[in-house]
Amino acid sequence: MTDYVTDTHALIWYLQDSDKLGREADIAFEACDRGEVTIVIPTLCLIELIYLQEKGRIPRELKKTLDEHLALGLTNFVTADLTPAVVSALETIPRDLVPDLPDRVIAATAKALNLPLLSRDRALQRSGLNVVW
C-alpha cells in the first residue's frame, strides 16, 4: 500500500468516525490505524482545525486528541510543514479549478510529496491530482 496526504474534512470525518468518509479513504485510514501506511497531515489542516473549533463547527476535543496522539506517537500520522517544494507545487495547482487557497496548499503538499490525496472535494478531484475518496 502507498502512503497518503489527507485534507481537513477527511481527517475530521475520520476522527469523528463519520459515515461521510468515502469508502477508499476509510480503507486508507484503517490501514494507517494498523500501521500499514502513513497519512501525512499538512500543517494547514491543523490551522483549519483551530479555525473550525473557534467557529464552533467541530468540538475542541478533536484537535486536542489528535495533538496528544501525535505527541505520544500513538498514531501513524505525521505532519508536513509548508516547504519551498510545496510552494513550488502550488504554482501547478490550477487556481481556476481550485480557487480556495487552503485547498491548493493541501493539494500542493500531496503533489510535492508525490502521494495520493484523501479528499471528497470535487474541485481537487478535477484538478488532475491523484485523489482517493
- Tell me which DSSP letter residue 92 carries: T
Residue 51 has a pLDDT of 96
User: How many structural domains are present in the chain?
Assistant: 1
- Position with higher pLDDT, 125 vs 39: 39
- Give the residue-averaged pLDDT of 97-111: 95
- Give the residue-averaged pLDDT of 100-126: 95
Domain hosting residue 124, numbered range: 4-132
Q: What is the CATH number of the domain that holds 92?
A: 3.40.50.1010
Alpha carbons 105 and 53: distance in angstroms, whole number? 20
- Structure confidence by residue, pLDDT tens digits, 50-85: 999 999 999 989 999 899 888 888 789 999 999 999
Residue 129 has a pLDDT of 92
Q: Closest Cα partner for 117 from 41, 13, 63, 55?
A: 41
pLDDT category at 86 given cuts 50, 70, 90 is: very high
Residue 82 has a pLDDT of 95
Alpha carbons 118 and 130: distance in angstroms, whole number? 9
What is the model's pTM? 0.93
Residue 113 has a pLDDT of 97
Calculate helix-pair angle for 43-54, 8-15, nearest 10 degrees.
Answer: 70
Residue 46 has a pLDDT of 96
pLDDT category at 126 given cuts 50, 70, 90 is: confident
One DSSP character per residue, 109-132 reads HHHHHT--EE---HHHHTTTS-EE
**Whether the predicted pLDDT of 28 surpasses 90:** yes
